[in-house]
Amino acid sequence: MPHAERFPFTRRTALQLAALALASVAGAAHAQAWPSKPVSLVVPFPAGGTTDVLARALAERLSPAIGQPVIVENKPGAGATIGADYVAKAKADGHTLLIGAVHHTIASSVYKKLPYDFQKGFEPVTVIAMVPNVLVVNANTPVKNVNELVALIKAQPDKGNYGSNGNGTAQHLIGTQFQNSTGIPLTHIAYKGSGPLATDLLGNQILMSFDTITPVLPHIKGGKLRPLAVTTSTRSPALPDVPTLDEAGLKGFNIGTWFGVLAPAGTPKEVTERLSTEMVKIIHSPEFRKRMEEIGADPIGNTPEQMAQQIKSETEKFAKLVKEGKVSLD
C-alpha cells in the first residue's frame, strides 16, 4: 500500500503557520473594529459649496449606518489641494476620508509640484454624484444669452472676467476653454470656494462664473442670478430651459463636476469595501436621490474599481485640455 509523502513539521513551520493565522485574525479584527472612533469627511472647500453640501448629506445618513459620528471638516485652499494633501498624509485606518472631485484630476496637470499623487496616494471608495456646471451672470447684467454676453465683453473688454472656486478647478478650465472658443480675453479671479464666489457675483464684483448648479440654484430661482448655458453635453433636469453651450454655438464643451469619497492609500481593503457598501446603499436610496434632485445633482454610487478608472481616464483627458489651454501654476 503506497504511503503519502510526508513533510517534516518543524518548529519553524509551526511558527510560520501561527503567524499567518494571527495576521488573518488581526485583519478580520481590524475590519470588525472599524470604526472605533468618529470618522472625518474632509472637504477641501469652505462651507456652502457643492462639495460641502454633498458631504453633509452623506454624513447625516452614514453616521447611523456605521454607529459612529461622521464629522465634516472644511480644509480649503490652493484649488482643493490642501485638503487632499491632509488626507493623503493621514493615518490609513478609514477614519479620515477625502471628498474629492474632478478638480483633483485637473490639478495633477495644472500644478507643477504637488505633495501627493492623486492616483497613487488614495484608495477610491465611490462617486457620490455628478453635478453640471452652469454659466451665470448677475440678473442685473444686460445680457440674456451667450451671444449677447460675448458681444458685451467685446464692446467693453475691461468687464471681461470670471470667477472660479480655485486655481486648477473645473471652473478654471471651463473659463479657459470658453476664452479660447470665443477669442475674447478674460481675467480669471480665483476664490477659495463657491461661497465667497457667489457673494461677489451677487454683489456685481465679477461678471460671471461657471460654478456647479448646487450653490447658484437658489439664487437663480430667487431671480438674483441669470443662467445662460450649462457646460455639459446635455441639459440639466434642474434647469431644463437653459441651453447647453453647444446649443448656444460653442462646440466641444462637455465638462461636469463629479464628487466622490477617497481614503488614504494603504487603508485596509475590508474597510474600504465596508465604506463603499454603506455609502452606495445610501446614495441609491430614494431619500438621498430626492435630496440630490433638490440641489441639481445626479447620484452615482459606483464601485471603487469604476471610480479608479474614471480618475485615470479624466486625468488623461484634462492633461490634454490643460496643455491646449496653456494653463500652468507653480
239 located within any domain? no
pLDDT at residue 78 in the model: 86
pLDDT tens digits in sequence order for the chain, 330 residues long:
444 444 455 655 555 555 555 544 444 444 558 999 999 999 999 898 899 999 999 999 999 999 999 999 999 988 899 999 999 999 999 999 999 999 999 988 988 889 999 999 999 999 999 999 999 999 999 999 999 999 999 999 999 999 998 888 899 999 999 999 999 999 999 998 888 999 999 999 999 999 999 999 999 999 999 999 999 999 999 999 999 999 999 998 998 999 999 999 999 999 999 999 999 999 999 999 999 999 999 999 999 999 999 999 999 988 988 887 778 766
By the 8 A CB rule, do 128 and 58 touch? yes
Q: Which CATH number do you get for residue 221? A: 3.40.190.10
Note down the domain range covering 190: 134-230
Q: Are residues 126 and 147 in the same domain?
A: no
CA distance 157 to 161: 9
Based on the structure, what is the number of domains in the chain? 2
pLDDT at residue 325 in the model: 75
1 located within any domain? no
11 located within any domain? no
pTM: 0.82
Torsion angle of alpha carbons 145, 150, 152, 156, nearest 10°? 160
Question: 165: Cβ–Cβ under 8 A, 6 or more apart, which residues?
Answer: 45, 49, 171, 190, 191, 192, 193, 194, 197, 211
